[in-house]
Structure 1
Amino acid sequence: MMKTSSVEFLVFFTILVSSSLLAEAYDPNPLQDFCIAVNDTEAAVFVNGKICKDPKSVTADDLYYAGALNESRQVTNSLGTQITLVYDEVLAGLNTQGVAIARLDFDLNGLNPPHEHPRGSEIFLVLEGTLYAGLINSNPANPNDKNPLFAKVLNAGDIFVFPRGLIHFQYNIGKTKAVAIAAFNSQNPGVVTIGKSIFGSEPSVPPHILAKAFQLDDDKLVEHLQSLTWTGNVN
């Protein structure tokens, strides 16, 4: 039997690793919900992100946001929270940088309802007040097991991490208003508010489908929920 020399093994291993790296290469993270491919030379051009400005015409204003995130925001919705998101639509210099930031203002009993970010992970820092923050893990391997909830009471200076795509929430349990800052590893992390998405879609999901999904005896409760006004809390 022919023995493989150390040099031959090193060459083989190098080729194997190189092939593996090529096989596992992937496109940049998506910056929109979908980008349908078309084979049409006459079609308009839609890119995954923004068209870049000529570098020679870039100014400091393209990299600057004068939104005063240090100032409190007035809460105007029934959730009791107001979110001011600074992403690529607000600050052009964020394009291709893979980051965004938001300020969250919570009234007493204010809730940032269960939601998830399809395009970015989040690091959440409390500046003022006391919040109860929770994260629900994805479905376990055993379908009969319950999804774990990871939750903490957060005070000023505390940080919590919400991984990309996982449902999470924050609720003001303190006796004062609360303020937090959220940072994302995407220039446009997106948000899917669970209740609004399920019961506030247009057109509506057929009630009998949601009734079965939520183990309800009839469609009446679903129809009631769909009749309500659903709103977001992002400004």
Structure 2
Amino acid sequence: MKGVYFLVAFVLFALASTLASASDPSPLQDFCVAINDTNNTYTKYRMFFLSIYAVFVNGKFCKDPKLATPMDFFFSGLNIPGNTSNQLGSKVTPVNVAQILGLNTLGISLARLDFAPYGGLNPPHTHPRATEILVVVEGTLLVGFVTSNPDNRLITKVLYPGDVFVFPIGLIHFQFNVGNTNAVAFAALSSQNPGVITIANAVFGSNPAINPDVLAKAFQLDKNIVNQLQHQFWWDNN
């Protein structure tokens, strides 16, 4: 019987460990304000020390909590509309650990999304490290995500001001303005640094370029079309 208890405990521990590793690590102190100054003497020392022992930090170094200031937890400007005069007609204004150093280890971030009238698009993309929850505050958005293989089912809905939609972690999703006015939405993400992979940019605009024969076969396209896609400019709206 003790063996059964041990087995159950081991399985639960393994499951808990797996779930814990699926998102940003939980903080072990009140906060861990990131050090963003690579010229800082202390940072240089830490990086040199860690390089000797081949240790890598999954995140950012922290400064002494006693040296934290209100500015470490502050960002201003999300009331300012993003510039949507680009080929996508959209602009994403992120507020993650790069903008608020105090978000380090807290497992959350924010973004403002602006869309030009009918046709403004935040193109198909994924966040490899975060689930996203989006609320529309202005305009009308067609949103959706695609489930993983083998179904690849499209889950889609038209959203109006006050509506909320969730995009599960890692799944390809998009937002498209189907109204005749500007649209604005805000998104919260379950990571201090959710990352973004815009599908078209990553596939056809990688550096160096993916072998055209690979893409021609994968997308069942003529190689000349692949070459054309690889040589056009891919806009980053983040």
TM bracket (short chain)? 0.7 to 0.9
**Is the CA contact (8 Å cut-off) linking 2:23 and 2:191 kept in structure 1?**
no
1:227 deviates by: 0.7
**Is the CA contact (8 Å cut-off) linking 2:23 and 2:190 kept in structure 1?**
no
Deviations 1:19-56 (A, max 9, x none): 2233342464577xxxxxxxx96267541001111011
Are 1:72 and 2:85 matched, yes or no? no
Uncovered stretches (5+) of structure 1, i.e. residues with no partner: 1-8, 32-39, 141-145
Which of 182, 186, 194 is residue 187 of structure 2 equivalent to?
Answer: 182
Paired residues for 1:1-235 under 5 Å? 9=1, 11-24=2-15, 25-26=17-18, 28-29=21-22, 42=52, 46-66=56-76, 68-108=77-117, 109-140=119-150, 146-216=151-221, 218-234=222-238
Deviations 1:109-147 (A, max 9, x none): 10000000000000011010000001111012xxxxx52
**Is the CA contact (8 Å cut-off) linking 1:30 and 1:48 kept in structure 2?**
no
1:74 deviates by: 1.9
1:65 deviates by: 1.1
Instruction: Identify, as 1 or 2, the structure richer in helix.
Output: 2
45-54 vs 106-115, which moves further: 45-54
Q: Percent identity among equivalent residues?
A: 50
- How many residue pairs were aligned? 210
| Local SS of the residue matching 2:226 | helix
| Local SS of the residue matching 2:181 | coil
For 2:78 and 2:144, locate their aligned partners in 1 and report how far apart those are by CA, in whole Å. 24
For 1:22 and 1:41, locate their aligned partners in 2 and report how far apart those are by CA, in whole Å. 32
Uncovered stretches (5+) of structure 2, i.e. residues with no partner: 25-49
For 1:41 and 1:168, locate their aligned partners in 2 and report how far apart those are by CA, in whole Å. 38
For 2:147 and 2:9, locate their aligned partners in 1 and report how far apart those are by CA, in whole Å. 34
**Is the CA contact (8 Å cut-off) linking 1:116 and 1:165 kept in structure 2?**
yes
Report the RMSD for the aligned CA atoms in angstroms: 1.9
| Local SS of the residue matching 1:233 | coil
For 2:116 and 2:154, locate their aligned partners in 1 and report how far apart those are by CA, in whole Å. 24
Letter in structure 2 aligned against 1:220:
N
For 2:88 and 2:127, locate their aligned partners in 1 and report how far apart those are by CA, in whole Å. 19
1:202 deviates by: 1.0
Letter in structure 2 aligned against 1:106:
F
Change (3 A) 1:44 1:19: closer
Change (3 A) 1:124 1:30: closer
Question: Which one has a bigger Cα radius of gyration?
Answer: 1
1:17 deviates by: 2.4
For 2:4 and 2:182, locate their aligned partners in 1 and report how far apart those are by CA, in whole Å. 59
1:64 deviates by: 1.1
